[in-house]
Structure 1
């Protein structure tokens, strides 16, 4: 076989081995499955200066999950985990809506910006608390964030007094339910956060430092990296992303529900990170893979509703698809499934000529 014949096969194998191949393939398959049940699923229309369509809806409704997953990616890259993002989502939405309900004019842009600033400030503070518990005191990440996961949900219900707060503010509605430049405003926020994060982690040394801390924290500290400050900053950023997601969710429905807002979004975010190819053990991470993983989860949710799967089996169907994606990403599983185990080299057979002596 010459080099020209061998080249395309090698390149195709490299594409299949790429960590983003299987999430992208599953996303395409889900979209095609929707086309089979809904012929106009991929169509996008421009009405009244806004883009409409199922693809736009997937991006708009998946924006909060993408934001939370971006923050979760950096936390997992340091070898940690953050289970409190769902509670931070609820707290952020509850505090902003409570502030807006106390305004004399809910249409005031200044008042809405103040509410947004206060909510994000509290989210940032909660993230700093998580980081201090993990990096400063030395509590295991799953325990430190579990404290806020439980207490934060109670704090959100305390802010709303156990009720659903409703607001009627056009400026606030823009965050999660409005459009700008024909696109949903939430999608533009996600693109801005993703662009800033990618610039800081891939164009600067910050990403390498995060990966080094996640790969070997002791060696990183001995090399002069201030791992504690870096871990605190990562947890604060994750909480900030969750706070923005909370604003989106509450803005989209013009209300705040301290009990159900952001419920179990931390699990979907972790799944999105894992589907995107980032290891839970820490180290190397992929922001593009995380975005693909979040889109897979949101598309899967849309598919479940569009093809009429019974609500009782929704979580089971979702778990099966996610499990299939994770198995497809595993090289060991693919080798076993395709019977491509590496063969050990066999010993050379003894000579059949009796005159030839084989050394002992």
Structure 2
């Protein structure tokens, strides 16, 4: 819980800033049996990023990185919409899209664990080629669909709550159960801490690495379905563009180390909500569109610095505070000199 202190404080500060500019920001209303409000919108529009970030968390926990999730988002949405436009059922379209996503993720894992390619290079291949594959599926066009059942995934409601939020809660619950209630989380952390030592201890590190990359692609595939169903169309060029960078930022803000090892699913969710709330804040404050990315980058940099214990110690340390006793080795050198 201590690890989440600063991310939660930053999220609260962003919410208060929005309240200052829009007094009704915290209000939630019931319209036509559905919940509406700014907080609901943050959760609904942030759902795809939360899903992608959850998958990215486990990849980073193994000491890897996945730059291809944005392309997988585009491929998943493109294939599902293509199938729907050819009169395939929603179930068939969803299964094919998610199946291809898992295969692409397993391919990334094979390149990393089986062949030994650096994760950033292995996933960069699919990041570039995957975007072209998405455009090949859509023939360079935006495919529009008209399916109420498919619309439910990203733009529908269930029990008054946006279906995307419920879907995220299910994925988060299953992921937390598998990684925190079972030994899987410990195995992932051990592989990220020291893959060679894990292998010598009898842990099948290669299999775990392939699994987490496949899971990350599966989460990206579901996010692609949510994004395309929300707008009832598939855009192979722009769908999921740069979402991999937001996902990495969400994971880092949430306290997961890029070096691998320990990870925090709760921190990742908070980090993703911070990024989505920041996007909402940008529109509320009225930041000019041409400076949006610069403003966002500055805020994220400030967030990361505030979370750094060494940075806080250097900046917020009181003047005049004694530096403490010198180390013995340093005192010996000084006396000798």
Alignment TM-score, normalising by the size of structure 1: 0.89
In the alignment, which of 196, 203, 207 is matched to residue 174 of structure 2?
196
Alignment TM-score, normalising by the size of structure 2: 0.95
| Rg (Cα) greater in structure | 1
Task: Give the corresponding residue for 2:74.
Answer: 90
RMSD after superposition: 1.2
Q: Give the 3-state SS of the residue equivalent to 1:152 in structure 2.
A: helix
Q: Which moved more, 1:331-340 or 1:279-288?
A: 331-340
Task: Give the corresponding residue for 1:352.
Answer: none
Listed as ranges, the matches of 1:232-247 within 5 Å are 232-247=210-225
In the alignment, which of 251, 276, 281 is matched to residue 298 of structure 1?
276
Note the C-alpha offset of 1:345: 1.9
Listed as ranges, the matches of 1:315-326 within 5 Å are 315-326=293-304
In structure 2, distance between residues paired with 1:140 and 1:342: 45
Q: Give the 3-state SS of the residue equivalent to 1:282 in structure 2.
A: coil
Contact 1:19–1:329 under 8 Å retained in 2: no
Ranges in structure 2 where 5+ consecutive residues have no aligned partner = 328-337
Q: Which moved more, 1:329-338 or 1:243-252?
A: 329-338
Number of corresponding residues: 325
Task: Give the corresponding residue for 1:129.
Answer: 107
Task: Give the corresponding residue for 2:323.
Answer: 343
Task: Give the corresponding residue for 2:45.
Answer: 61
In structure 1, distance between residues paired with 2:317 and 2:235: 51
Deviations 1:164-209 (A, max 9, x none): 0000000000000000011100000000000000000000000000
Pair 1:346–1:303, CA change in 2 (3 A): closer
In structure 2, distance between residues paired with 1:76 and 1:128: 16
Note the C-alpha offset of 1:47: 1.3
In the alignment, which of 101, 114, 117 is matched to residue 92 of structure 2?
114
Pair 1:342–1:202, CA change in 2 (3 A): farther
Contact 1:176–1:250 under 8 Å retained in 2: yes
Task: Give the corresponding residue for 1:47.
Answer: 31
In structure 2, distance between residues paired with 1:343 and 1:209: 40
Ranges in structure 1 where 5+ consecutive residues have no aligned partner = 1-14, 105-110, 348-360
